[in-house]
Amino acid sequence: MPELPEVQTIVNDLNRKIKGLTITDVWTDWPKYFRCSFGNFKKTIVGRKIGKIRRIGKNIIFDLSGGKEILIHQKMTGHLLVGSWIMDRGKWIAAKKGPLAEKVNGYIHVMFIFGGNNMLALSDLRKFAKILAVDKKDFENLEDVKNIGPDPLAAGFNFGDFKNLIMKKRGPIKKVLMDQSVVSGIGNIYSDEILFAAKMHPLKKAEKLSDKELRAIFSATKKILKKAIKLRGTSISDYRDTAGKSGCYSEARLVYRKEGERCPMRCGGKIKRLKIGGRSAHFCPSCQKI
Q: Which residues are catalytic?
A: 2-3, 58, 279
Q: In whole angstroms, give the CA distance from residue 241 to residue 228.
A: 13
Q: In whole angstroms, give the CA distance from residue 290 to residue 143.
A: 36
CA-based end-to-end distance of the chain: 28
Q: In whole angstroms, give the CA distance from residue 59 to residue 74.
A: 8
Q: What is the dihedral of CA 226, 239, 98, 55, to 10 degrees?
A: -60
CB 130 within 8 A of CB 35: yes
